Amino acid sequence: MRMLQYLASASVIGTVAAAIMGSYVRGMGAGLACPDWPLCHGALIPPLELPILLEWGHRLIVLGVTLCVAAVGLLTWRKRLPARFNALQSLVLLVTQAVLGGITVIVRLNPAIVALHQGLALIFFRLARRAGAGIAAHDAPFSRSAGPGCGQVKQFVV
């Protein structure tokens, strides 16, 4: 169960890293440094130049998040945990988000598509966080020692 918690946490942290990296890529004007998708300049390993490395780095972070989210989805489903529905929704939304990222490149950073891509990232973050919180809540023993209302504070912080 601890591995599942680590994977869920890695999903959330990786999502924040991907969002930060995506914003940095956009701010540096490197959003089209990889003009094709899912490859970059027609290769798995693109030319090692700064703008390309920024965009490719963003894609690699997203790949790591995808692997973590897929593992969380599989493990929560196999263990029949209540968080499995949030985990499954996260996985479906992440695949949608990845395809939308590709469309963002194909349509040459159309502002409406970029905004949709960023908006879905926020929704994905919320779902991944909820899945992680559900896994943690399932594993934690029930305790009243912290007092009333602490569960809501913990849920907000997580």
- List residues with catalytic annotation: 55
**DSSP collapsed to 3 states, the chain:** CHHHHHHHHHHHHHHHHHHHHHHHHHHCCCCCCCCCCCCECCECCCCCCHHHHHHHHHHHHHHHHHHHHHHHHHHHHHCCCCCHHHHHHHHHHHHHHHHHHHHHHHCCCCHHHHHHHHHHHHHHHHHHHHHHHHHHHHHCCCCCCCCCCHHHHHHHHC
